[in-house]
Amino acid sequence: MRAGYFLMLVVLVTIAPSPTPSVYEPLVVHSFTLDGLSWQFHAVACDSNELLRGAFEATSDGSLYPGDEQKYDDWVPIRIDFTVLSAPEFALLEAGNSSTPFFEMHDVSQGSWSLRMPEAGEWFLVYFNPTIYLVQIEGHTLRTGFSLLAASLLVLLPLGAALVLVGLLRSRRGRMIS
């Protein structure tokens, strides 16, 4: 009888899905050009308490605007502003009103960040270019998700333990009756 329950446990664990153990899932790969005095955003859906992290770099080759024939100082330091906004705060920004960012970086040419998202929903990564120069943004955003492997183990281990316990109880009860 024990062998039957043990075999059932082995089969359940074997057929359980086992994805790669990587925890970080790429959400957005940034590679775009910001016009002078403009902003661009990327929307990201997150779960409550999920870890969101990313990095970016802003560069410019000194071009003033698209089609400009003249090159300016290639060494001009390019600085941008980066913010993370909740959906309601982003709506305020789009309407031209002031918004309160969940996270912000000012006057940076590169940055890396890591945030624990306080609530589920759509969040907006916003890049602001306060200069008249074109700015090239390169970067990425990753998030942690609840691993399917961890979820499988959380379900299968207690289930397997319960099956083994039931098997032990039945085999003892069968011995007591005999």
Residue 45 has a pLDDT of 92
With a cut of 70, say whether residue 143 has pLDDT above it: yes
pLDDT class of 133 with cuts at 50, 70, 90: confident
Q: Which CATH class is domain 22-147?
A: mainly beta
Q: Could you report the per-residue pLDDT of 82-108, keeping only the tens digit for each?
A: 999 999 999 999 999 999 999 999 999
Sequence ranges of the domains in the chain: 22-147
Comparing 76 with 46, which gets the higher pLDDT? 46
Amino acid (one-letter) located at 13: V
Most confidently predicted of 7-11, 35-39, 71-75, 160-164: 35-39
Mean pLDDT throughout 24-38? Answer: 84
Please give the model's pTM, rounded to 2 decimal places.
Answer: 0.66
